[in-house]
């Protein structure tokens, strides 16, 4: 089929499914698949599996048995669906997570009511990212109906993205289900707006800094060594030396929002001294222990080993100045991940945005991580980007919503991009020599 004809056919197929797209999004939102603890995962996975099975996909539920947080009460159930095309060709994969963060306070609507009002669907996960999951399912169904493409289309719905992906994308990647050679092009419908193409994310390093002292009577602090005052020197050095130094490092990549182009440190928790009683009383002691947990975000130019060595050196310097040794412990890390902005999937989605929306796509990089890291760093699937209908600033907020127009536009973009990726080889073969 000619490109103009296929564009028209895709537009018609998505338009014909507009009500389906709305109702599928609402059905997914009504399942409170909240993480933690990982509630109702199976119910969500079943909606996806049943729907795609009805469209001719081979859909499997795969429990991440033994994964972190997997239990009989809260099984980590994933869904992986595949439909073969007419003959050999590449595999285009849509990957969404269906877990949502707890709703929190401040809602003016029922967070699991999926209210449809003024062209918006409200609810926890509407934007991040059940709307994107629904759009990708509708796009896959439209392509299944059109037929005539080689290769395979896959859709996955995974657990636990909000808590690191251990019972979801990471588990599937470790078992070879997300792997180079199995998937060629991956689109993750995370919320970057219908004209945003996200090629990767910054890195993360969580760690703990501890200072130690010596207990003494609080009336004679000169007889002890105060761990909290030592932590004060650490904080002072972070504030006056370290944070300004790393803030001067600016990513070349277009991280959004603009302020997130700089390397950053968040002090996530700070504890010192003995715990207070419920009544607020405290032992009159000099504290012998203090602990600080930090969340360091790395720009793509930063090397994780160098970042760690730099902070270790700073702590050694501060300790030498003030006569103590601080302990530094790694808690968690993710290297920055970046797809080639000129790779096949980024180009196909940018082209489809141009043709469907009539404007150039914004190429962005995410401030926080998402499941792209597992496709890339475990599965070796490099041609992977995020593209989905939600607006990033609504994610995890009260009164989260997704625009119906954005859902439909992104479904058209996903279907057109997938069609072009699937048929790119065939088009080349058919081209005159
Ligand atoms: Zn998300």
Backbone angles phi, psi at 320, to 5 degrees: -65, -40
How many Å lie between the centroid of ligand 1 and the Cα of residue 99?
A: 8
> CB–CB of 74/36 below 8 Å?
no
CATH topology of domain 203-333: Alpha-Beta Plaits (3.30.70)
H helix or E strand, kind and range, residue 77: strand 77-84
Compute, in angstroms, the gap from residue 190 CA to the centroid of ligand 1: 5
Residue range 251-267: average pLDDT? 95
For the segment 336-350, what is each residue's pLDDT rounded down to a tens digit? 999 999 999 999 999
Q: Report pLDDT digits (tens) over 70-94.
A: 999 999 999 999 999 999 999 999 9
Residue 284 CA to ligand 1 centre (angstroms): 46
> What is the Cα Rg of the chain in Å?
25
Per annotation, catalytic residue among 161, 195, 210, 400: 161
Average pLDDT, integer, range 260-270: 96
Catalytic member of 40, 99, 195, 371: 99
State the distance from the centre of ligand 1 to the C-alpha of 396, rounded, in angstroms. 9
Does the annotation mark 403 as catalytic? Answer: no
Partnered with residue 158 across adjacent β-strands are: 97
For the domain bounded by 3-201+336-430, which CATH number is listed?
A: 3.40.630.10
124 phi and psi angles, rounded to 5 deg: -65, 125
Residue 431 has pLDDT above 70, yes or no: no
- Vertex 367: Cα angle to 303 and 293 (nearest 5): 70
**Per-residue confidence (pLDDT) for residue 429, from 0 to 100:** 53
* Choice among 100-104, 191-195, 253-257, 279-283 with the minimum mean pLDDT: 279-283
- For 132-158, what is each residue's pLDDT tens digit? 999 999 999 999 999 999 999 999 999
Residues of the chain with CATH 3.30.70.360: 203-333
How much distance in Å is there from the Cα of 298 to the middle of ligand 1?
Answer: 19
Dist. CA 18–CA 407, nearest whole Å: 9
Task: Return the ∠ at Cα 74 (arms to 78 and 45), rounded to 5°.
Answer: 30
Q: Give span(s): CATH 3.40.630.10, the chain.
A: 3-201+336-430
Q: Dump pLDDT digits (tens) for 151-168.
A: 999 999 999 999 999 999
CB atoms within 10 A of CB 327: 11
What is residue 155's predicted lDDT score, i.e. its pLDDT? Answer: 98
Ligand 1 centroid – CA 96 distance (Å): 8
pLDDT tens per residue, range 390-420: 999 899 999 999 999 999 999 999 999 999 9
161 is a catalytic site residue: yes
Beta strand pairing call for 91-97 and 152-158 = parallel
In tens, the pLDDT along 97-142 reads 999 999 999 999 999 999 999 999 999 999 999 999 999 999 999 9
pLDDT of residue 280: 78
Provide the pLDDT for residue 274.
86
Terminal-to-terminal C-alpha distance of the chain? 20
């Amino acid at each position: 089929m000619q490109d103009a004809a296929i564009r028209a056919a895709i537009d018609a197929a998505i338009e014909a499914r507009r009500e389906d797209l709305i109702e599928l999004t609402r059905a997914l939102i009504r399942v409170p698949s909240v993480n933690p603890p990982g509630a109702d995962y199976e119910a969500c996975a079943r909606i996806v599996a049943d729907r795609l099975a009805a469209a001719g996909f081979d859909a499997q539920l795969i429990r991440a048995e033994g994964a972190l947080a997997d239990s009989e009460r809260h099984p980590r159930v994933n869904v992986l669906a595949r439909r073969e095309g007419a003959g050999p060709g590449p595999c285009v994969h849509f990957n969404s997570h269906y877990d949502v963060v707890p709703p929190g306070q401040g809602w003016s609507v029922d967070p699991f009511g999926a209210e449809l009002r003024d062209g918006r669907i409200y609810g926890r996960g509407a934007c991040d990212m059940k709307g994107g999951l629904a759009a990708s399912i509708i796009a896959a169904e439209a392509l299944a109906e059109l037929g005539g493409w080689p290769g395979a289309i896959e859709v996955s719905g995974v657990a636990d993205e909000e808590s690191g992906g251990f019972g979801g994308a990471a588990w599937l990647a470790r078992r070879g289900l997300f792997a180079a050679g199995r998937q060629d092009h991956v689109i993750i419908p995370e919320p970057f707006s219908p004209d945003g193409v996200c090629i990767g994310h910054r890195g993360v390093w969580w760690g703990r800094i501890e200072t130690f002292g010596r207990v003494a009577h609080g009336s004679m602090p000169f007889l002890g060594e105060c761990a909290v005052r030592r932590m004060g020197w650490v904080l002072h050095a972070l504030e006056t030396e370290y944070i300004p130094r790393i803030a001067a490092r600016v990513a070349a990549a277009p991280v959004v929002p603009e302020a997130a182009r700089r390397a950053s440190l968040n002090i996530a928790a700070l504890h010192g001294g003995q715990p207070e009683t419920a009544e607020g009383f405290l032992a009159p002691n000099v504290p012998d222990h203090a602990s600080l947990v930090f969340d360091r975000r790395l720009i793509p130019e930063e090397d994780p080993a160098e970042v760690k060595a730099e902070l270790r050196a700073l702590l050694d310097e501060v300790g030498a100045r003030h006569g103590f040794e601080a302990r530094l412990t790694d808690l968690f890390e993710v290297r920055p991940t970046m797809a080639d902005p000129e790779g096949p999937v980024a180009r196909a989605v940018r082209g489809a945005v141009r043709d469907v929306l009539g404007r150039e796509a914004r190429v962005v990089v995410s401030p926080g991580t998402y499941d792209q890291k597992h496709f890339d760093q475990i599965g070796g699937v490099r041609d992977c980007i995020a593209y989905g209908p939600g607006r990033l600033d609504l994610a995890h907020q009260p009164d989260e919503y997704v625009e119906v127009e954005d859902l439909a536009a992104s479904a058209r973009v996903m279907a057109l991009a997938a069609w072009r990726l699937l048929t790119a080889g065939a088009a080349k073969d058919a081209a005159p020599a």
